Amino acid sequence: MMKYFIYLQYDGTDYHGWQTQPNCVTVQETIEQKLSMLLRRPTGIVGAGRTDTGVHASQMVAHFTLTDRTSTDENNVAQGEDEASDNENRVADNGIALEDLGTDCKTLAFKLNQVLPPDITVQRIVAVKPEAHARFSALSRTYRYYITTQKPLYKRNYVMRMFETLDVEMMNHACAKLFCYEDFTSFSKLHTDTKTNICKIMDAYWQAVGKDEVSYVFTIRADRFLRNMVRAIVGTLIQVGRHKMTIQEFAQVIERKDRCTAGDSVAACGLFLEEIEYPESIFFDEEE
């Protein structure tokens, strides 16, 4: 059995999010169709996470598995590794190593980029160890949210417009409160199939950038994120930045574990999945 990581970028404007769903065009389904066509066998991918409709990715990672022709049906379902996670896993049917297909990772990445639409780009494909998993092996994920006070023309699908300036210092003081908690129910989409709302936030801060054009960038890194979590946090922190919520009130929002107490979720267009971190141990050394 051979397993591979695909590193990719995408513009989420015209997609109904990452995860495959009926009667919708999604990033996952689009990649699976093209990958299956090139490998000449049904090939599914498992992403490091899900992004919602309109959310972009500067880096998303997904894995696919090619199993030996003599493997049993159980192995062809990638050892059932993701059956409990929203049916994200797909069958990699009758797979073999890329080398046996007369290609390599660089060639496959090149060919994928030729057949994928312009709003999805494969950065690279790398072989990983069998135990590697795009979702469960990830150490952290980093998101960034972009806001501008100007009317963006060419960037309107990649930034949220605001009509007022924000108090960055106050928002960063509020960000410090995020490190004091683990249960972020208040920032989670309601009625999801998530088993736990516990997350470890490792970094969170705002930056004001630009001279002629005032822009704000929010960066947050955590071991995992809940559905709609980043956009809900940003919407609530904006209330702090507008002096409509105190830092203590922001902390109370988290403590109440009630989505109704938090601010509105901001628009999806300004959100980017920026980076996913993995342990070095799941990758092959150059000598291997």
Segment 64-117, tens digit of pLDDT:
998 764 443 333 333 333 433 443 343 333 445 777 666 789 999 999 999 999
Q: What per-residue confidence (pLDDT) applies to 190? A: 79
Q: Which of 34-38, 92-96, 131-135, 155-159 has the lowest mean pLDDT?
A: 92-96
- Of 88, 110, 137, the last residue of a domain is 137
Statement to judge: residues 9 and 87 lie in one domain: yes
Statement to judge: residues 24 and 81 lie in one domain: yes
Mean per-residue pLDDT, 197-223: 91
Q: What per-residue confidence (pLDDT) applies to 80? A: 34
Question: What is the total count of domains within the chain?
Answer: 2
Segment 246-269, tens digit of pLDDT:
999 999 999 999 999 999 999 999
Q: What per-residue confidence (pLDDT) applies to 99? A: 73
Residues ≥6 apart with Cβ < 8 Å to 3 = 63, 64, 65, 66, 127, 128, 129, 130, 132
Statement to judge: residues 220 and 263 lie in one domain: yes
Q: What is the CATH number of the domain that holds 218?
A: 3.30.70.660
* Helix (H/G/I), strand (E/B), else coil: 82: coil
Length of the chain: 288
Contact assessment for residue 38 and residue 111, using Cβ atoms and an 8 Å cutoff: yes
Statement to judge: residues 124 and 38 lie in one domain: yes
Q: What per-residue confidence (pLDDT) applies to 213? A: 65
Given the residues 52, 104, 223, 285, select the one marked as catalytic.
Answer: 52
| Helices and strands counted in the chain (H then E) | 6, 9
More confident residue, 176 or 97: 176
Statement to judge: residues 245 and 263 lie in one domain: yes
Q: What is the pTM of this model?
A: 0.87
Residue given tokens 């689009």 in the structure block: 30
Query: pLDDT grade, residue 176 (50/70/90)?
Result: very high
Judge whether 237 lies within some domain.
yes
pLDDT exceeds 50 at position 52 = yes
Statement to judge: residues 10 and 49 lie in one domain: yes
Q: What per-residue confidence (pLDDT) applies to 56? A: 98
- Of 106, 137, 168, the last residue of a domain is 137
Statement to judge: residues 7 and 87 lie in one domain: yes
Q: What per-residue confidence (pLDDT) applies to 287? A: 53
- Of 76, 108, 137, the last residue of a domain is 137
Query: What domain range is 265 assigned to?
Result: 140-273
* Helix (H/G/I), strand (E/B), else coil: 62: strand
Statement to judge: residues 94 and 156 lie in one domain: no
Q: What per-residue confidence (pLDDT) applies to 75? A: 34
Statement to judge: residues 10 and 78 lie in one domain: yes
Q: What per-residue confidence (pLDDT) applies to 92? A: 37
Query: pLDDT grade, residue 192 (50/70/90)?
Result: confident
Q: Is 119 a catalytic residue?
A: no
